[in-house]
Amino acid sequence: MEELRADDPRRIGAYRLLARLGAGGMGQVYLARSDRGRTVAVKLVRCEPARREEFRARFRQEVRAARRVGGHWTAPVLDADTEAEVPWVATGYVAGPSLQQVVGHDHGALPERSVRILAAGLAAALQDIHAAGLVHRDLKPSNVLVTLDGPRVIDFGIARALETVADGGLTRTGALIGSPGFMAPEQVRGDRVGPACDVFCLGSVLAYAATGALPFGGADSGAHVLMYRIAEGEPDLSSLPEGLADLVRDCLRKDPAARPGLAEIIGRTGARDTVSDGRLRDPWLPSALVAQLGRHAVRLLDTEHPVETAGPSGTALLPAPPATPPAPARPPATSLSVPSGYAPAGPVPPCGPGAVPP
């Protein structure tokens, strides 16, 4: 998390911005609060894609579909303005680090019990996503947030409505959508993608959570080599606990039809009762992570609203630029530390006349 910069908005729609969370696939992401006090994440689309009608059409469709996703295991879409000069979407803020942060930096591989509950929660999230007619298509550790009461799936920015995939209208032929290392063979080959794609990605995420390593190797060998291994090679599951190996292996079958369904996955985790009502009855994380999440929650409550610029209601407000632009400098880090799964990115200017797209 970073403090707001001089050229960041202070308000987007009905939400007052508090800090920068980073950048997702479409634009800048901010921590914000509604006038009634709800904490949200607001994604502001970059100017360049916002000017393309093809993108606008896709964005409208994705927001409509994402609003239909319910359940306890995803970050809900709360609000959006797809027709604004700078389109934006607001989702419920999930107060926890990404699985990438937890495994790659804070803690390391998770114990088997934690991974079983992770598997059940992610499978339940995918059930909700698929029931809304979506395929996530980019399930990876940075799109899974870890909270005291279970995992949450975020970022449907790359998800596509199933009918869009079928008619080929908005997804260009030959376009690869996904992240190397967490793609399914059908994505690598450019074949039609369905719900079973998310099951394969789930298998890769579980292998990473349990071992700290990718089942088809790291990106240091090159994206093309990695994707060839996904399409043609066998995963390395030698470090997986015996109780997880068969489930992960089945999720990573090359043939989409041979992969288990999500209900079967939940049953095989032994955590069906744990995820049935969306609430965990017992702690599911190691004690060190529980303590870290508790400290994070306290810091989040202490976050104050920055002073905002006056302007018409419902608009994204930007402070007046200084007469002489300051020399580029990295802004001071805020005292808060909230890993979010987003990479740092530059400011998002307004898309009016003369604006320079990022």
Cα separation of 305 and 62, whole Å? 30
Q: Is residue 29 part of a domain?
A: no
The total of structural domains in the chain comes to 1
How far is CA 250 from each of CA 191, 245, 254, rounded to the nearest angstrom?
20, 9, 9
Question: In this prediction, what percent of the chain has a pLDDT beyond 90?
Answer: 49
**Position 266 in a domain:** yes
Compute the distance between CA of residue 119 and CA of residue 202 in angstroms, rounded to an integer: 8
Q: What is the tens place of the pLDDT at every residue in 20-30?
A: 988 766 789 99
186: in domain: yes
Answer yes or no: is 305 within a domain.
Answer: no
CATH number of the domain enclosing 124: 1.10.510.10
Asked if the structure places residue 285 within a domain, the reply is yes
Tell me whether residue 198 is one of the annotated catalytic residues.
Answer: no
pLDDT in tens, the chain (358 residues): 789 999 899 999 999 999 998 876 678 999 999 999 999 999 998 888 888 888 888 888 888 888 989 888 999 999 999 999 989 999 999 988 999 999 999 999 999 999 999 999 999 999 999 998 889 988 999 999 999 889 999 886 555 534 333 344 344 433 445 578 899 999 999 899 999 999 999 999 999 999 999 999 987 778 889 999 999 999 999 999 999 999 999 999 999 999 999 999 999 998 887 777 666 777 899 998 998 888 776 666 666 555 544 444 444 444 434 444 444 443 333 323 333 334 443 444 556 543 433 3
Q: What domain range is 133 assigned to?
A: 99-292
- pLDDT tens-place string over residues 318-337: 443 444 444 444 333 332 33
Q: Are 226 and 236 in contact (CB under 8 A)?
A: no
Contacts by 292-299, CB closer than 8 A, 24 or more apart? 292/97, 292/106, 293/95, 293/96, 293/97, 293/146, 293/147, 293/148, 294/148, 296/95, 296/96, 296/97, 296/337, 296/338, 297/95, 299/335, 299/336, 299/337, 299/338
Please pick, among 7, 35, 106, 138, the residue that the annotation labels catalytic.
138
Among 45, 85, 51, 37, CA closest to 63:
45
Tell me if the pTM is above 0.85. no
In a domain, 59, yes or no: no
How would you write 109-175 as a 3-class SS string? CCCHHHHHHHHHHHHHHHHHHHHCCEECCCCCHHHEEEECCEEEECCCCCCEEHHHHHHCCCCCCCC
Q: Is residue 154, in this structure, part of any structural domain at all?
A: yes
Contact 120, 274 (CB under 8 A): yes
Q: Is residue 312 part of a domain?
A: no
Rounded CA separation 73/123 (Å):
9
pLDDT digits (tens, 9 = 90+) for 191-245: 999 999 999 999 999 999 999 999 999 877 788 899 999 999 999 999 999 999 9
